[in-house]
């Protein structure tokens, strides 16, 4: 029963509509407190003052307190301002009113707040279920069977040219957390459980060795394989069930804290990815071992991480897919990171920026890099373009994609993944060039 509750869709459908209707009904009721022009004027003033206070509080949280990383979409500003205005109206109804109006006003305040939260979440579209919104995973467990896979040799010709799918191959892939998890033996980093996507071709007897994608999501966010699984299922349907095996890992630990994908006093994330995650994946998953078949991918915060790892470790990752990436670690709060992490050493900070690493390690003779950003994502677009320019200058085979009609939410994420794998599929041998 609890699992069904956690799977409720909170970005569209009956649940969201019910909250909207409930909030609207309470708002209309609280508007009708009394007759006369003075009442109307009072309500207008209260709503305007509440909206201004809400916008001011959000601006302070973003620009002064750094409670929220990065720019917010337009819908967030409207929802927060509206919620504050509605709550101000509810508070006004607590004075000189009958007990039932007071009760409705008290109940309306959390309803207005939750409705704004749901509206903001729906505008981004990244937390599709109640469980995801609460940070509770509803993914099942994938038992990998043999705890140690036998590495498949890199193929002499594209997999797509030799693979014949069996009749009993599933139509869609499978998502879950790998049984036993990924040990953090070398890093000690307290990561949240990773999620694994296995494509249809990996779910049959005598499955072929497949390319590996290691992906990281944004902040705040969960290691959720739903989005990459959705895109790869679509590609698999067009390519005889072939898709990479995707492992979505946690680079944050605490979603409110950004360890910058480095080894710092916030956690040894770099060691976790390179010495815990990557060796585990190559040992326990039936994946091809060469860098050509290994992709580091990420979205937003994770996109910056992908650019960093791909630039620094071309011998491990032959492909980079950075979707709506942060230009470099801590770019949204440069001064705070410079002071707290690098002790004011600008040269040390510059040295870990992906563009700097690309310049220092160039040329890259066999790295394919894809950078994508939503066409309407003005905040992250310039940084993504600069990363693509740096990759091109460093000799990577680079593609930059501006996803039409997409922003920094789910449209940019799904559009970016789709554009990225369009480039990578022939490179990975999953489609005949």
Q: Considering its fold, how many domains does the chain have in total?
A: 2
- Residue 421 inside a domain? The answer is yes
According to the model, what pLDDT value does residue 62 have? 78
- Residue 129 inside a domain? The answer is no
Same domain, 166 and 119: no
User: What tens-digit pLDDT sequence spans the chain (433 residues)?
Assistant: 666 777 788 778 899 999 999 999 999 999 887 666 667 888 889 999 999 999 998 888 877 776 666 677 888 899 999 999 999 999 999 988 888 889 999 999 999 999 999 998 888 877 887 877 777 777 788 888 765 666 777 887 899 999 999 999 999 999 999 988 999 999 999 999 999 999 999 999 989 999 999 999 998 888 999 999 999 999 999 999 999 999 999 999 988 888 999 999 889 999 999 999 999 999 999 999 999 999 999 999 999 999 999 999 999 999 999 999 999 988 888 888 888 888 888 999 999 999 999 999 999 999 999 999 999 998 899 999 999 999 999 999 999 999 999 999 899 999 999 999 999 999 999 997 6
Show which of 101, 124, 147 is a domain's final residue: 124
- Residue 93 inside a domain? The answer is yes
Same domain, 84 and 161: no
Partners of 372 in beta bridges? 323, 401
Same domain, 102 and 201: no
Same domain, 79 and 177: no
CB neighbour list of residue 292: distance below 8 Å, 6 or more residues apart: 154, 318, 319, 366, 427, 428
Same domain, 283 and 380: yes
Helix (H, G, I), strand (E, B) or coil at 383: helix
Contact by Cβ (8 Å): 131, 2: no
Q: In 3-state terms, the chain is what percent helix, strand and coil (to 5)?
A: 45, 15, 40
Show which of 124, 151, 183 is a domain's final residue: 124
Partners of 319 in beta bridges? 295, 368
Same domain, 186 and 323: yes
Same domain, 91 and 213: no
- Residue 309 inside a domain? The answer is yes
- Residue 432 inside a domain? The answer is no
Euclidean distance between CA atoms 238 and 65, whole angstroms: 48
Domain assignment of residue 75, given as a range: 2-124
Same domain, 74 and 206: no
Query: Is the torsion defined by CA of 405, 407, 410, 412 positive or negative?
Result: positive
- Residue 325 inside a domain? The answer is yes
Show which of 73, 99, 124 is a domain's final residue: 124
This prediction's pTM: 0.89
CA dihedral 101, 102, 107, 112 (to 10 degrees): 80
Q: How many CB atoms lie within 10 A of CB 285?
A: 20
Same domain, 117 and 144: no
- Residue 433 inside a domain? The answer is no
Q: Which two tokens stand for residue 300?
A: 């937003």
- Residue 133 inside a domain? The answer is no
According to the model, what pLDDT value does residue 38 have? 67
Contact by Cβ (8 Å): 211, 429: yes
Euclidean distance between CA atoms 406 and 403, whole angstroms: 6
According to the model, what pLDDT value does residue 217 have? 95
CB neighbour list of residue 234: distance below 8 Å, 6 or more residues apart: 418
Same domain, 149 and 109: no
CB neighbour list of residue 357: distance below 8 Å, 6 or more residues apart: 308, 311, 312, 351
CB neighbour list of residue 329: distance below 8 Å, 6 or more residues apart: 258, 260, 261, 262, 304, 305, 308, 337, 352, 353
Distances (CA, A) of 294 to 47, 181, 219, 281, 306: 54, 20, 24, 11, 12
Instruction: Single out the residue of 279, 345, 288 nearest to residue 313, CA to CA.
Output: 279
Q: What is the DSSP string of 190-245?
A: -PPPPEEEE-GGGGSTTPPPB-EEEEE--SS-----HHHHHHHHHHHHHTTT---E
DSSP classification of residue 159:
G
Find the CATH number of the domain harbouring 323. Answer: 3.40.50.1820
Q: Where are the alpha helices (H) located in 313-371, listed in sequence order? A: 334-340, 346-351, 354-361
According to the model, what pLDDT value does residue 295 have? 98
Same domain, 109 and 157: no
Euclidean distance between CA atoms 54 and 78, whole angstroms: 9
According to the model, what pLDDT value does residue 68 have? 65
Same domain, 113 and 145: no
According to the model, what pLDDT value does residue 272 have? 97
């Amino acid at each position: 029963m609890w699992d069904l509750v956690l799977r409720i869709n909170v970005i569209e459908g009956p649940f969201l509509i019910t909250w909207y209707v409930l909030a609207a009904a309470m708002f209309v009721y609280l508007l009708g407190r009394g007759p006369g022009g003075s009442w109307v004027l009072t309500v207008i003033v209260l709503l305007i003052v509440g909206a201004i206070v809400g916008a001011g509080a959000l601006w302070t949280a973003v620009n002064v307190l750094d409670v929220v990383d990065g720019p917010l979409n337009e819908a967030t500003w409207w929802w927060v301002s509206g919620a504050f205005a509605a709550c101000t109206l509810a508070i006004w109804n607590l004075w000189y009113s009958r007990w039932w109006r007071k009760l409705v006003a008290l109940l309306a305040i959390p309803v207005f707040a939750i409705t704004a939260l749901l509206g903001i979440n729906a505008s981004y579209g990244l937390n599709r279920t109640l469980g995801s919104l609460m940070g509770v995973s509803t993914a099942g467990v994938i038992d990998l069977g043999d705890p140690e896979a036998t590495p498949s040799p890199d193929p002499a010709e594209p997999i797509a040219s030799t693979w014949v799918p069996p009749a009993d191959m599933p139509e869609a892939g499978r998502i879950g957390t790998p049984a036993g998890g990924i040990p953090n033996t070398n890093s000690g980093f307290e990561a949240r459980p990773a999620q694994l996507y296995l494509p249809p071709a990996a779910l049959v007897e005598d499955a072929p060795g497949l390319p590996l994608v290691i992906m990281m999501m944004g902040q705040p966010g969960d290691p959720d394989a739903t989005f990459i699984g959705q895109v790869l299922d679509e590609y698999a349907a067009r390519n005889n069930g072939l898709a990479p095996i995707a492992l979505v890992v946690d680079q944050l630990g605490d979603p409110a804290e950004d360890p910058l994908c480095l080894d710092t006093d916030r956690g040894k994330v770099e060691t976790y990815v390179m010495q815990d995650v990557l060796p585990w994946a190559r040992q326990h998953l039936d994946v091809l071992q060469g860098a050509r078949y290994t992709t580091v991918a990420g979205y937003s915060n994770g996109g910056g991480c992908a650019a960093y790892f791909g630039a620094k470790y071309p011998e491990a990752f032959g492909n980079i897919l950075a979707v709506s990436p942060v230009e470099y670690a801590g770019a949204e709060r440069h001064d705070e990171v410079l002071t707290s992490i690098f002790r004011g050493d600008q040269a040390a900070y510059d040295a870990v920026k992906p563009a700097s690493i690309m310049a220092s390690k160039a040329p890259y003779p066999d790295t394919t890099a894809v950078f994508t950003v939503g066409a309407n994502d003005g905040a992250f677009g310039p940084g993504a373009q600069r990363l693509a320019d740096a990759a091109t200058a460093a000799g990577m085979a680079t593609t930059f994609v501006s996803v039409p009609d997409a922003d920094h939410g789910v449209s940019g994420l799904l559009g970016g993944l789709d554009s990225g794998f369009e480039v990578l599929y022939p490179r990975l041998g999953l489609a005949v060039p």
